[in-house]
Amino acid sequence: MKLVPSVDLNDFISGDPIKKQKFVDEIGKAYEDIGFVALKGHFLDDTLVENLYAEVKNFFSLPLETKQKYEIPGIGGQRGYVSFGKESAKGKKEGDLKEFWHFGQYVENDAKREAEYPKNVIVEELPEFNKIGKEAYKMLEKTAKYVLRALALHLNLEETYFDHYIHNGNSILRPIHYPPITSEPKEAVRAAAHGDINLITLLMGAQGRGLQVQNHKGEWIDAIAEPDELMINVGDMLSRHTNNKLKSTIHRVINPPRELWGTSRYSIPFFMHPISEMKLNVLESCIDDTNPKQFDDITAGEFLTERLIELGLIKK
């Protein structure tokens, strides 16, 4: 039995009001129940996914001194390369067993926003890496826009409520490499239990098992997407904005069984962030007598900075 519900975006964009409402109801229920959903019918085609994984493997196979050229000091790891063990989950001192790269927003017609975000980093050795990365970023952003439109309807908001906040938003595409494990990790895992910071996260049917989500009973369950599905979960910003009506689920990437220690794992999440001035204040429609307001008012930018300090990516 599939523990994470599966939905098809084609229902939402079909032009058929009954199918559209079915999608809104299904994704809304999934996010209220477990905070994760597997999505078919997204805008990434198989060729783009294959090319992206190929380019990502090419990058992480480069010599360490080449990769470290692209590690930019002073920007909290927001663009370019972040080396092995630099990031740890909130409250955990062991660094996660991973290295990663960040593609950020390709700002359109907005000089203020362009000045606010660090520039994307160009890898000279791999001419296709940045081109394919940008293409995947755009398709994932487009998919996320429609998912948020469905959630807006579920929350009784205007369908395009989120559009303005996510256009030129501070979203990140993060190819991750979990290298082979060479010795018994003391306390470290590939990615310790955590909730995501952002509005929603889109994850390609990650290669290799390992992703687990925690249900309401505190049990860890495997979250396995089909090859043509994206796993999409609610982040803390959206959970906060909806007074925890939509759940930001704690999840982790566990180390593989010993016989697979010699293998690398690659994973490419897309973190959908709004523009920094979006107010994450609890929506009035999500407050009632049984569910009083749980969170203080804060902007997305303030919340992000707070969390990056907790993660050790920005030093106070």
Q: Write down the pLDDT at residue 216.
A: 76
Please list the residues that pair with 222 across neighbouring strands: 212
Q: Which residue has the tokens 């979990």?
A: 178
CATH class of the structural domain 6-310: mainly beta
Predicted structure pTM score: 0.90
Which pLDDT value is given to residue 1?
42
Break the chain into its structural domains and give their ranges.
6-310
Quote the pLDDT of residue 251: 84
Q: Which residues pair with 270 in a beta bridge?
A: 173, 202
Buried b (16+ CB within 10 A) or exposed e, 260-287: eeeeebbbbbbbbbbbbebebebbeebe
Tell me how crowded residue 315 is: count the other CB atoms within 10 A of its CB.
8
CA distances from 213 to 21, 88, 112, 178, 293 (A): 27, 18, 38, 19, 26
Say whether 3 sits in a helix, a strand or coil. Answer: coil
pLDDT of residue 77: 84
- The one-letter amino acid code at 296 reads D
Nearest to 191 by CA among 261, 270, 265: 265
What pLDDT, on a 0 to 100 scale, did the predictor assign at position 253? 76
pLDDT of residue 310: 81
Q: Give Cβ neighbours of residue 239 (< 8 Å, ≥ 6 apart).
A: 35, 195, 246, 247, 248
pLDDT at 178 (0 to 100): 83
Q: Please state, in angstroms and rounded to a whole number, the distance separating the CA atoms of residues 198 and 270.
A: 10
Task: Select from 227, 168, 239, 231 the least CA-distant residue to 199.
Answer: 239
State which residues of the chain have pLDDT below 70: 1-2, 85-96, 185-191, 205-209, 255-256, 313-314, 316
